[in-house]
Amino acid sequence: MGSGRALRVVHLYPELLNLYGDSGNILVLRRRMEWRGISCEVEEVHTGDHPSFVDADIVFIGGGSDREQRIVCDYLLEVRRELAAFVEDGGVLGAVCGGYQLLGHSYLMGDEEVRGLSLVDLYTDRGTPRLIGNIAVESRISPQPIVGFENHGGRTHLGPGVEPMGKVLHGYGNDGTTGEEGCLYKNVVGTYVHGPLLPKNPGVADYLIARALERRFGVAELEPLDDAAELAANKVMYDRLMDEEARG
Ligand code: GLN
């Protein structure tokens, strides 16, 4: 199975956007491909580079402080057209927290409205307090609930046609009031879930890999892996959070 297949992952600005180990997501993507005989080439894009998305299969962007997010946004606005073409062509884009906020039309930094990449119809304003804590989300892209950690001042509002990644079971999600978390648009997955996201949520990793395989090779089937350790970690967290919910 899998032999001869290769996918190219473009990791945007790991030195700036790597909050709560977000770069660990790349390691998970690589391993889950290699365990199935799919080679994985990772290209890290650093400040000053001019990224190309022409041969990319999966683009990943992590979270960071407002300051770092601002620097990255300025870089990405220069290649906005190319990144938008990638997204519209069904390219897979995973974005966490600060990276997720960048996908929208704008986000509020202090009192300043900063222009975003407008890749997805959403925008982010701010609120107090910061939304901090463990989170569990039910989502159609993962057979297990998605678990992790969130910490954001931003409140993200989805446009009418944009599907949330899922429903908050514990925690805050996009804005702490709608019960919605993240966004799904074409093959874009945006989420506030750090952790990092993918080690404890193998279903999300496989969703991204499957969408990329489907686009590149027309086949989305993935060989199952032994996920006993990952699923045990997921379950410990999920059970703990549901227990907290039950106790109010
Ligand atoms: N700076 C953003 C906020 O606080 C994103 C933070 C993050 O990536 N955790 O809303």
Does the residue 36 lie in any domain?
yes
Confidence of residue 3 (pLDDT cuts 50, 70, 90): low
Query: What's the 232 CA to ligand 1 centre distance in angstroms?
Result: 28
pTM above 0.95, yes or no: yes
Confidence of residue 124 (pLDDT cuts 50, 70, 90): very high
Does the residue 58 lie in any domain?
yes
Does the residue 99 lie in any domain?
yes
Does the residue 159 lie in any domain?
yes
The ligand 1 atom at the shortest distance from the C-alpha of residue 126 is: 10
CATH of the domain at 33: 3.40.50.880
- Asked if the model's pLDDT at residue 1 lies above 70, the reply is no
Query: What's the 205 CA to ligand 1 centre distance in angstroms?
Result: 22
What does the buried/exposed string (b/e) look like for 223-241 if buried means 16 or more CB atoms within 10 Å of the residue's CB? eeeebeebbebbeebbeeb
Task: Return all residues near 112 (Cβ < 8 A) that are at least 6 apart.
Answer: none
Does the residue 158 lie in any domain?
yes
Does the residue 23 lie in any domain?
yes
The ligand 1 atom at the shortest distance from the C-alpha of residue 130 is: 4
Please report where in the chains the tokens 């901090």 appear, as a residue. Answer: 132
Please report where in the chains the tokens 């569990």 appear, as a residue. Answer: 136
- Asked if the model's pLDDT at residue 66 lies above 60, the reply is yes
Per the structure, the complete domain to which residue 142 belongs is given by 6-247
Does the residue 1 lie in any domain?
no
* Count of domains forming the chain: 1
Peptide bond into 202 cis (omega under 30): no
Does the residue 196 lie in any domain?
yes
Pocket of ligand 1 (CB under 6 A): 19, 63-66, 69, 97-98, 151-154
The ligand 1 atom at the shortest distance from the C-alpha of residue 66 is: 1
Has 194 been annotated as catalytic?
yes
